[in-house]
Amino acid sequence: MTAPSFATAVRRWVDNGAGVLQANEAVGRRIDWPRVVPFVLLHAGCLGVLWVGTSTTALVVAASLFVLRMFAITAFYHRYFSHRAFHTTRTAQFIFALLASSAVQRGPLWWASHHRHHHLHSDGPGDSHSPHVHGFFWSHIAWFLADENFATRQGLVCDLERYPELRWLDRFDVVAPTCLALVLYGLGSWLEHAAPGLNTNGAQLMVWGFCISTVVLYHATFTINSLAHRFGARRYATRDDSRNNFWLALITLGEGWHNNHHHFPGAARQGFYWWEIDLSYYGLRLLAALGLIWNLRAVPIATREARQMPENLRK
């Protein structure tokens, strides 16, 4: 199979439907370099801090957008779209999909389909991002940029494809992040004149609130693929090498309890015990109290206590 043309790769920057391969067409482990350009530019944009400087306002905006979008990724892209761990309205479903899409990690159908594929083949030859099979660099970054993983695995998300708004968001996933970047620039420009005491401007908010916040969010999320299958403790004898890691759980709002998750993927809570901090779950409980979501699936006690490894074998 030949690589996509440069023109097709550029079209894919704005339209994921441009020259998409069918799910059964193997393309091999090949990086689509023209399509990687925006990913590289986003990282390079972080260097803009050398020119725009910093301010308390910029730091607060960056941190807030990191937390909000990480929650949208972990609670909705992962626990809702991928595993259906709770129920919500169609409106809330779209709003949180839009927010998660602004994190520049592709659309909800793409994300869910590849994550479901990961669970089917975890740490086996078919796993797209197993560090044991492909190594650290591939599992952390390269798999995300490879042409073989560009298309949504449509056969794995038939339940989600019935929503045209999700299909649209999946195809044009550049819309949400572009709008966020423009809003941040506009907000900063307005604050520069309306509230000069905040010491910020459009370029500064875009660098901190979009570039830096997004890149940190990227690599925090990616650690679950590259590190949570190598470092940590194994409470459960799962068929993969998933690990529980307290530090990864902190930076990803609860996703670091990865061995728990692979033991029972459908749970809304990944920190199975009270001492396992799971900030995304606490956020879901708040949304449930507000009536925005319901039927949060719990891990059955019998399942939680089953297949636990002896203490001396958990490392």
Q: Is the dihedral of CA 152, 68, 196, 207 positive or negative?
A: negative
H-type alpha helices, the chain:
6-11, 33-45, 49-52, 56-71, 90-101, 108-120, 131-134, 136-137, 143-145, 164-171, 175-194, 202-205, 213-226, 246-251, 258-263, 279-289, 301-305
**Phi–psi pair at 236, nearest 5 degrees:** -110, 145
pLDDT of residue 25 exceeding 50, the answer is no
| Alpha-carbon gap, residue 77 to 281, rounded angstroms | 14
What six digits make up the tokens of 114? 């590849």
Q: Are 88 and 80 in contact (CB under 8 A)?
A: yes
Per-domain boundaries in the chain: 31-313
Alpha carbon of 95 to those of 4, 209, 255, 290: distances in Å? 33, 20, 22, 16
pLDDT band at 29 (very low <50, low <70, confident <90, very high): confident
Q: What is the pLDDT of residues 273-286, one digit of tens each?
A: 999 999 999 999 99
The arithmetic mean of pLDDT across residues 174-196, rounded, is: 97
Higher pLDDT, 131 or 32: 131
pLDDT digits (tens, 9 = 90+) for 158-167: 999 999 999 9
Q: Provide the phi-psi class of 232: left if phi over 0, else alpha when psi is between -120 and 50, else beta.
A: left
pLDDT beyond 50 at 1: no
Rounded to an integer, what is the distance from CA 166 to the centroid of its chain? 16
Residue 312's pLDDT band, with cuts at 50, 70 and 90, is low
Compute the average pLDDT of residues 135-164. Answer: 93
Q: How far apart are CA 137 and CA 151, in angstroms?
A: 21
23 has pLDDT over 60: no
> Encoding tokens for residue 236?
């459960």
Average pLDDT, the chain: 92
Backbone angles phi, psi at 33, to 5 degrees: -60, -45
CA distances from residue 148 to 26, 39, 103, 159, 166 in whole angstroms, order as listed: 7, 17, 22, 23, 22
Could you read off the pLDDT of 199-253 as tens digits, one per residue?
Answer: 999 999 999 999 999 999 999 999 999 999 999 999 999 999 999 999 999 999 9
Q: Give residue 45's pLDDT band: very low, low, confident or very high (50, 70, 90).
A: very high
Please provide the distance, in angstroms rounded to a whole number, between the alpha carbons at the two ends of the chain: 43
Q: What's the pTM value of the predicted model, to 2 decimals?
A: 0.93
Mean pLDDT of 188-200: 96
pLDDT at 310: 81
What per-residue confidence (pLDDT) applies to 2?
A: 54
pLDDT at 289: 98
